[in-house]
Chains A and B, each alone.
Chain A
Amino acid sequence: MASGLMLEETELRLGLPGGGAGELAEVAVIRSSGKRGFLETIDLKLKLQTPAESKESESTEQGNKATDPHEKPPAPKEQAVGWPPVRSFRKNILNVQQQSESKNKEEQSDKAAAAAAAAFVKVSMDGAPYLRKVDLKTYKSYQELSTALQKMFSSFATSGNYGSEQGVSVRDFMNGAGKVTALVINGSEYVTTYEDKDGDWMLVGDVPWEMFVDSCKRLRVMKGSEVVGLAPTAMEKRKNRG
């Protein structure tokens, strides 16, 4: 189960799900593909730095109950039959509408279907307890996307969770391969990264917009300090592949 996650390499001595560091292990376990060693490093570091947020993001901490819902096998998470109490019709509807989202990485989404339907991707921001979803098809450029992200997280940043805010602005900075758009929130620099079809995490802005929309599976706004020097750019990735 957890053996592919290289937990020993991070020297964090985390337990398996249900055995202690509940939310950390669960986060690592859900991203169970071996490809994302980099992400786990980032995730684990960040989670350790902000222990307060882990309490918010996991609403299932409990003392008394014998059946610990954390004692579940890794993805897909086991569900009790008929829970939550929604009609199976609802599950089918959402599956149909999410086909172009390709949550399952092994699925090859039909190109035509992907072109016609929406491209919902999840957007997470480090330190935020909630994820959002955006439809990439509604934007025509990186600029539009970053404006939307800016709006999304400014409303979040001023929601009271972060004390005195300075708000959100967008800044460009140069990394090794070229210009990268960075959201600046509350004074710390956040950078937008995305997970592509191969499961690698890339900086947003490297490839032409249409190519980005086709290959982006999810977005992540992370602290700039964690990103520099770690995320391969699209160019480096192509080079390495030969």
Chain B
Amino acid sequence: MVGRFRWAAMFPDEVWEHVFSFLTSDADRNAAALVCRNWNRIERRSRKRVFVGNCYSVAPTVAVRLFPEVRAAVIKGKPHFADFNLVPSDWGGGAEAWVEAMAEGWPNLEELRFKRMVVSDDCLDLIARSFKNFKVLSLVSCDGFSTSGLAAIAANCRNLRELNLRESEVEETCLNWISHFPESCTSLVALDIACLEGEVNASILERLISRCSNIMTLRLNHSVPLERLVGLLQRAPQLMDLGTGKFSARHNPQLFSRLESAIAGCKNLRNLSGFWEPGLTYLPAVYSICEGLTSLNLNYATIQNPELVKLISRCKNLRRLLVMDLIEDSGLVAVASSCKLLQELRVFPSDPYDAAEPVSLTEQGLVAVSAGCPMLHSVLYFCRQMTNAALLTVAKNRPNLTCFRLCIIEPRTPDYVTQEPLDTGFSAIVESCKDLRRLSVSGLLTDLVFKSIGASANYLEMLSIAFAGDGDMGLHYILSGCKNLRKLEIRDCPFGDKPLLQNASKLETMRSLWMSSCSVTLGACRQLARAMPRLNVEVINESGRGPLVAQPDNCPVEKLYIYRTIAGPRTDTPQCVWTI
């Protein structure tokens, strides 16, 4: 030990800092910080990028003090199930505390990325005024702000390179916020405003794009008509990433040929998305650049076969495909033979709530792609039927899967051929795919599948379970196995108190656990909170039965969110949330 201590002191701090600057991943820097006290001090004082997976796991002021040289921060807020309206809207995830601490302690901050946070216009205003060299603002799945806040960002961030609003909910209070970018702004490289519901002034956008000669990513919203897209593309032929606006117009051969040549002029186009309200007549205008595409996102585009397959089959170099189930099995067969470099596939339901009228997308499409695309490692698939045989085939074909998320739309659907649970199918997946990091299971499942997952899924980091299992053992298998589990989210499963209490220490090794509509009681939560002071045990009861403090131990818990933290209980819980 003494030798190592002396060794670390052999070089001045600056040398170690320089060495550490070659460690690019957070995990590597974390590892270096654990070697000895000196390295810990040097590493954290020189760390430029910090990732906070749960905004409540550490107090903002503490984080800012520990890492004084940070230039780029990623902060995530609400639990994943907030995307599906399971988390009350006032639950938390507010960004104020973070932005205030950062404005105070990180004046040189350049990049800020929030995910599932509630960001107010005041926050945006503070960001705009506090960081002189601010370059990147990314608000993914955020809400709480309006276009007035965006106007402040546009007006004040002189060196803004990236403004990304992917999947956020933005109120329209300032009509022409785009016009707040000053004439002197030439720095924009990426602009993603696809989620905006209101009108965007295309002329102002055109002028902005004209003077930003480095613009590489431009994702428009539905309000930008096809005619204006032509002008934008003509001014930015260097684009690599394009999200179109509305992709239909009245039949006009001149517009078609102008669009066609404008798109053909974008020889660097690699990512294509948008296609709001698509009309079939204009689709062929993009054919010329299909071969160069590596990513195609049609997940909101209601294009059907055969035009849909025609388009995708031309994209021979596709790595990433997001599409609706309108592609059907036949389309996926075509994908399997045309897109040999495919790595990621996501198929979304076109009619998620109309269970009576299925589209012709079944397990066969998935099997076809698993057979035909050797580099496929990430799958998200919504369908209405599945068999164990199909899952076994997928597992055999693709042992290289790292992400497998299957959602069979009707809860508890069995193998439609044998009427058995899908235990064997999913077991085959976890046993064969040794590098699986993320798994979502669905359909009829007993505790047996969780036994397999607990035993075999050694690298699994995130697991989503819904309407599955027989009882406590199911959860026990997971919590006592899955060595690398970080995030577990469960809904509508018959899992109760016992497995939680038996595996309490496991919860400290994970980022978070969400359980809703299960069989957990208040008593177990109280016990857990007493035993594990470094966990926040949050009980969410929205049915207004009176303060939870007064409720008996056997009171059922509607929703439960448990996460590890060094910050103690948070102070911003709303009425329906109680930290025990």
Contact = CB atoms under 8 A, between A and B. Distances in A.
Interface of A: 26-27, 30, 55-57, 59-65, 67, 69, 76-77, 79-91, 93-94, 96-97, 117-118, 120, 122, 124, 129-135, 138, 155-156
Tier of interface size on chain B? 35 or more
Given A61-B414, A82-B491, A133 B304 contact: yes
Interface in B315-354: 326, 330, 348-354
A132 B327 CA distance: 11
Given A83-B84, A122-B357, A135-B304, 19 more contacts: A27-B356, A60-B410, A60-B413, A65-B444, A76-B353, A77-B353, A81-B84, A82-B84, A82-B85, A85-B84, A86-B349, A87-B83, A89-B195, A90-B300, A91-B353, A94-B350, A131-B357, A131-B360, A138-B280
Contacts of B357: 122, 124, 131
Given A117-B277, A135-B304, A86 B410 contact: no
B374 interface: no
A5 B351 CA distance: 26
B416 A84 contact: no
Given A59-B385, A62-B444, A155-B330, A85 B83 contact: yes
9 contacts: A60-B410, A60-B412, A69-B412, A77-B353, A84-B407, A97-B302, A120-B302, A124-B357, A130-B359
B356 A30 contact: yes
Given A80-B492, A83-B411, A94 B302 contact: yes
A195 B464 CA distance: 41
Contacts of A156: 360
A62 B412 contact: yes
Contacts of B209: none
Nearest to B299: A90
A79 B84 CA distance: 13
Interface string B383-416: 0110000000000000000000001111111101
Interface string B462-496: 00101000000000000000000000000110000
Interface in B31-52: none
A69 B348 contact: no
B461 interface: no
B227 to A, nearest CB: 15
B176 interface: no
B411 A69 contact: yes
A56 B358 CA distance: 11
Contacts of A61: 414, 419
A131 B360 CA distance: 7
Contacts of A138: 280
Contacts of A69: 410-412
A118 B466 CA distance: 36
B134 interface: no
A137 B440 CA distance: 39
Contacts of A63: 419
B167 interface: yes
Q: Which 10 A-B pairs have the closest CB atoms?
A: A82-B84, A130-B360, A59-B385, A82-B86, A131-B357, A60-B410, A85-B84, A59-B416, A84-B409, A84-B352
Q: Chain B interface secondary structure, helix, strand, loop or mixed? A: loop
B355 interface: yes
B412 A90 contact: no
A174 B561 CA distance: 67
A86 B348 contact: yes
Contact of B300 (A26, A64, A93): A93
B407 A56 contact: no
Contacts of A59: 384-385, 408, 410, 413, 416
B282 interface: no
A67 B280 CA distance: 43
Contacts of B279: 118
B580 to A, nearest CB: 24
Interface string B280-293: 10000000000000
A155 B334 CA distance: 14
Contacts of B450: none
Of A63, A88, A131, the most chain B CB neighbours within 10 A belong to A131
Given A59-B416, A85-B84, A91 B352 contact: yes
Contact of B326 (A26, A84, A133): A133
Nearest to B415: A59
B81 interface: yes
Contacts of B302: 94, 97, 118, 120
Contacts of A79: 353
Interface in B496-542: none
Of A80, A84, A93, A124, the most chain B CB neighbours within 10 A belong to A84
B382 interface: yes
Contact of A94 (B84, B351, B413): B351
Of A65, A77, A130, the most chain B CB neighbours within 10 A belong to A130
Contacts of A91: 352-353
Given A84-B352, A86-B352, A155-B330, A132 B412 contact: no
Contacts of A80: 411, 492
Nearest to A67: B412
Nearest to B383: A59
Contacts of B330: 155
Nearest to B357: A131
Nearest to A60: B410
Given A69-B410, A84-B349, A90-B348, A77 B359 contact: no
A132 B411 contact: no
A187 B280 CA distance: 34
A14 to B, nearest CB: 17
B537 to A, nearest CB: 22
Contact of B416 (A26, A56, A77): A56
A99 to B, nearest CB: 10
A202 B228 CA distance: 43
Contacts of B280: 135, 138
Contacts of A77: 353-356
Interface string B126-149: 000000000000000000000000
Contacts of B382: 84, 86
Nearest to B494: A66
Contacts of A62: 412-414, 419, 444
Contacts of A85: 81, 83-84, 407, 464, 466
Contacts of A96: 277
B419 A82 contact: no
A37 B411 CA distance: 31
Contact of B277 (A76, A86, A97): A97
Contacts of B411: 69, 80, 83
A89 B351 CA distance: 13
Contacts of B410: 59-60, 69
Contacts of B352: 84, 86, 90-91
A82 to B, nearest CB: 3
A81 B416 contact: no
A130 B81 CA distance: 31
